[in-house]
Structure 1
Amino acid sequence: MDRRHKSNLLLGFHHSLFFSLSLLLIQVVVVAQAPATGKGKLSGKVVFAGNGKPAPDVRVRLTAEKGVGQQSVMTDESGAFSFVNLKSGNYQLNVWSPGFVPDVEPEHSNRILLEEGEERRGIVIRLIKGGVITGRPLDEDDEPVSSVRVSAIAVIGGEMLEGGANTQPPGAYTDDRGIYRIFGIPPGRYRIVANASKSYFNRSTIGLIATYYPGAAFISQAAEIEIAAGQVIEGLDFKLLNRKGFTVSGLVSRKDKSIPLANTFVIIPEKGSSRGSSRTYTTDGQGRYRFDGLPTGEYDIYAEPRRESDLLNEGKTIVIESTDLVNVDFELTTGATLSGSIKMRDGKKPERMQDSRMYVLPYETRYRSYYPYTMWPRMINLRQQLHYRRCSRR
């Protein structure tokens, strides 16, 4: 059998394998995007903020904050979209259009609370031009390095959100000239990171630690870049650190039902630094998370459920020595419940209490006192019934 025949056989095998995997992927996607069975509806339109014109052929994605799966539709010629058969709960709307981003503050994303059977109409999502950054990661000889993943990590409330269930941070691989160009960046503050451990094509850089612009190993030493809508920032070159990096990954689930928890924060604070020096990841639809490019050392790692959850934080200490840590799992438990009603001393019904907040503050700081997030007060919005019910921390 000659080499050409062997090559054709091998190529045919690869095509068959790729086709089989594609079918498997399609099946998985279909299952993950199975429609909900409720009676709720959401509808609205997407427009360009600059002129108010409709934005056709824009993908709109609706993700439930509890449970797995998502739905997506394309806007029509008038920019309209709609979702039907929705269960009650919290949802998040995301749109994708090359080079454009929603005109919304990162802290106030398009989250929607849908009541049972509610029809929410008139939602308007405005698109603005995203920012652009370019530059080159350099090796020890100051030569540009190709096929390295460079990302712009948003700094929200002092924390770096690396991605997860609904979104990944804006990023790009360097081209054959070693240049990266990241476009469609929402306005805000960012730290730029080159993660050579995600370099699938460049063996010389695979396994190196993450390097933060302008050439730092630690988040606290990284520079923050302010990006405005439509702004182009060029020349963000920085040298890669030639030190081995490792991966920490795992699963977050409920202990009582062993249910994977999507959209749960997993945080690794930087030792001895302030709150703004943490790496944060949100779990995907299967409750999984992954940090790459971590240097050796001891770390505290935490699973932090969202504020509306009845679950407690869980923290543990890990040590990275010479291998990846791939099964750092968390099983979150529920806390105690506190409920009651608000009354005035004279027995009269309180006035103007609707949508006020009830705070539950810790009496002592012993529980996770070394982790600042646990000092967030638990809270709930008071409804018309003026009753409150909230799960407290241990």
Structure 2
Amino acid sequence: MSPARLVTLVLALSFCAPVCLAQSPAARAAGKGGVIAGNVTVHGKGLPDVTVTLRSAGFGGQGQGQDLPQAKTDAEGHYRIGDVPLGSYYVTPVAPVYIVPGAGRLAFASDPVVITGGETIDGIDFSLVRGGVVTGKVLDTGGRPVIEQTVSLQSADQSAGPGGFGGFAAGGARTDDRGIFRIYGVPAGRYVVSVGAQQRFSAYSTVMGQQAYKQTFYPDATDTSGATVVEVAEGDEVSHIDITVGNTVEEYSVTGQVIDKSSNAPVPNVGFTLSVLAGGGNRQRAMGLMTLPVFSDGAGQFRVDNVPAGRYMISLSPQTSNGMTGQSAAFDVINQDVTGVVVQAVSGAGLSGFVALDGNQDPSILSELLQFQVQVFVQGSGNAANAASVQTVPLNADGSFQFAGLPAGTVRLSLMAQDSTLQGAFKLLRTELNGVQQPRGIPVNSGDQVGGVRLVAAYADGIVEGVVKMQNGTLAPGARVLARLTPAGQQGQGRGTNLGVASVDSRGHFIIENVPAGSYNLIVSVLNLQPGRRGQRQQQPVSTQQQVLVNEGQVSNVTAVLDLGQNQTPPTPTPAPTSP
């Protein structure tokens, strides 16, 4: 659609009577609500007054933004959630002091539950046990309470490799005004308890003026090798896990100047971001990005205080750079203040274009599209290869958009809903530059002014409901089955456009919402979450595919057969006996 066509439709809207916006698939199916029911028990006895909630299990915005029903268990621990809209959901009993054995503090079903109409799905049960408690006090070396610091619990039963524990995080809590912490709902197991952040991430607290302590493990170790393991049994309270922390993280200042690369003139009144870098050589990457509460002065000079030891890069903030971009070289903060950091500013790239609606040109649908924003992600290139930039702008009334101050790199664009209830209502089919599709993004250089960008979106109000029948075997423990849609003609295992994905529930049902009208490959595959042994050859995933036609606003039903034995290794034949 041309920009002129968009303007015509928008002007037509302003003279119409109030418009009924197009409904999402979930809204259209609201009259076909289903029921999810089950029991919540503790050692076989019903647990009353537990709120059981639903959480969308949809990918990519499916089912997001809905107000979902919930229910409380009765005196026998039974619950019944009615009027459940069409969709895929995780069912969660909100019982923080209880856990599912082997799970975490907020227990939830590991498999989604799919509702495809006015059906009743019973037997979604939860057998809980009471979690343990770990409590103690955090003091500094002077015996003073350490206030408002996070205490973390980490499993000691999983190997981390060299240097420390690598088990899952089992919970955490902040210390109160007495330095006391209490972590509840802890699964039975062996844990290490620590306070303070890893030093390379503490900059995100210290630069903003928050106090940070060097990571200390119970009782007073600064390294995991000296940590005392805490054992927690079911329902037990382990107290007096007192930690003595040493000094706060040492902090330094970083000063420098922003100059215009072409004229060497200082650049005043621009803002900055700070990237924490990790890795070495060509593998060095930014581990995070924060906007600094700092602007350059009239001479282009800046100062960043409270920076702990680490490796960093300072860049111009795209929101406050006046259309310029640039970054410093990577620098190290070791044991003293850093001076002379230079940020070379250049004119950033500009990028402009418009969003076109593919297919249905209904004015009410166009009205919804104009409520979206365009987000640009730029992966840096050259000296900024380890940096990234993100900006978001609203669509103009004619469907156009403009970005300025982009760094050199590869640009990827996406659509984001400002209203969460519209999330997933449109799918971005392709990005074009001067009529040519750009599947790998659009390369830009400093100072480029790139026009002619066209984002082709489609209204996504179709639904694919399916059943997967499995034969010749059973799923391995921890395996999941996923169903996804790709454009017809695209090879099954390729990385191309993904127009919908869903988990298959324990009954073999799945639902993919927010699908544009069109012809697709439906690919059903097994995702084995059990890690293979190092050096072990990984088998090709078990999968099947077939074509599906989706019509606008309609439900397409499909049945897929998944042969779980397709990649099994045939038995080694017994060698024939040799003649004497």
Q: Could you state the TM-score of these two structures normalised by the residue count of structure 2?
A: 0.35
Larger radius of gyration, structure 1 or 2? 2
Q: Could you state the TM-score of these two structures normalised by the residue count of structure 1?
A: 0.48
Higher strand share goes to which structure? 2
